[in-house]
Structure 1
Amino acid sequence: MEYNHRAAGEVTANELEFPLLHVVTQDGITEHGEEDLVRGLVEQSQAEDGTYILVTDTTAPKTPTYTKKPGRSIVDDFPPIAVRDYASLTNTFLEDVLEARSRIPVVDTRNVFFHAASALHAEAGAPADSIEAVFDYTEAPPDSPVWDSARYFLVHDLENVLEDYSEHIREALRSWTEKGDTQKVANHILEVLQVCDYDASKLEDYRQRDPEYR
């Protein structure tokens, strides 16, 4: 499916069009600046009868700045919203789509990106049993989706990465993961960017190289 990627930190709700898929954790909403965006998109989708799919790690995403009553979520504020349990959806994806090939324990993450990468790594005989392992770029298969993560920072966020290095990468990763230490993953991404001199063409050459010679 073709789509246009927009970074949450670079847009406001009125700049976006529906249908729209938005992936963010509850922590990303409340702690990392996406609360206004989520609330604005919900309100705009209701007003325009647009399709807004919010993929998050809770069935009751909260925007506490807008909802003063403790425990109240956007589902309470906007009754027409349909809620699907993410845990059951990911279970279906892991079993039916990945055919249980991911080596990462579900208790560690339900992020389907990581599980898809793990399944591909396992088939290729590459490290696959943890999030950190699949981000070891010295071992990652050339067709692994983890290369897209490194490429993302080069294409969309290079200026900030050069300024803040691993801290900025770690902050970005926190909005992609439910929990856990992101520092080791950030270090792997930073290492491969440094090896490739922050150059997209060199990153592509490195990706295509046999892991034995990386």
Structure 2
Amino acid sequence: MKKIIFATGNEGKMKEIRMILEDLPVQVLSLKEAGINSDIVEDGETFEENALIKARTIHDLTGELVLADDSGLEVDYMNKAPGVYSARFLGEDTSYAVKNQYIIDQLREAKGGERSARFVCVIAAVFPDGTAKTCQGVIEGEIGYEPAGENGFGYDPIFYVPEYGCSTAQLPPEIKNKISHRGKALEAMKKVLEEYLQV
């Protein structure tokens, strides 16, 4: 069976990725499962650049088919911050509970449409021959007034999806995977992989 290394150590992310790619005839390994310990410097200025940096770094180490994603939250009221710095926002080791509360506090005065935000995800694939492909997914929503929900991770508890009337952390995983930025980007990448694997 072919294997794909997904350049992440995030367990929550791996769970979502495996659910979406489960019907492909591949084994999807996290960096840890592939026995790779690599410090990747994400110094790109866009989600796409960072995803490619991660995928290329691990591909150069292994020669395998590598997927990587870069994703983040863009809050319009904060000039699209935290954006590409979402993971490192307010410092590398700051908990998401603190980050989420900070964003809610920043939007104290924001009403209605001023609270608009989106999650963006770009997935990059670097194939064994070194060629690369990227796919992007976006979900539009707004910043909630308080954190809610236990299902997600990261900024999910404060990201409110009006058409579902709840945060992405309150959505059942199968619905979240359909509508989320990562879900959409992965579905697009899945088509690329099906072609590559000829399934």
- The TM-score normalised by the length of structure 2 is 0.30
Higher normalized helix content (fraction of residues): 1
User: Greater relative contact order (Cα 8 A, min sep 6): structure 1 or 2?
Assistant: 2
Q: Which has the larger radius of gyration?
A: 1
- The TM-score normalised by the length of structure 1 is 0.29
Higher normalized strand content (fraction of residues): 2
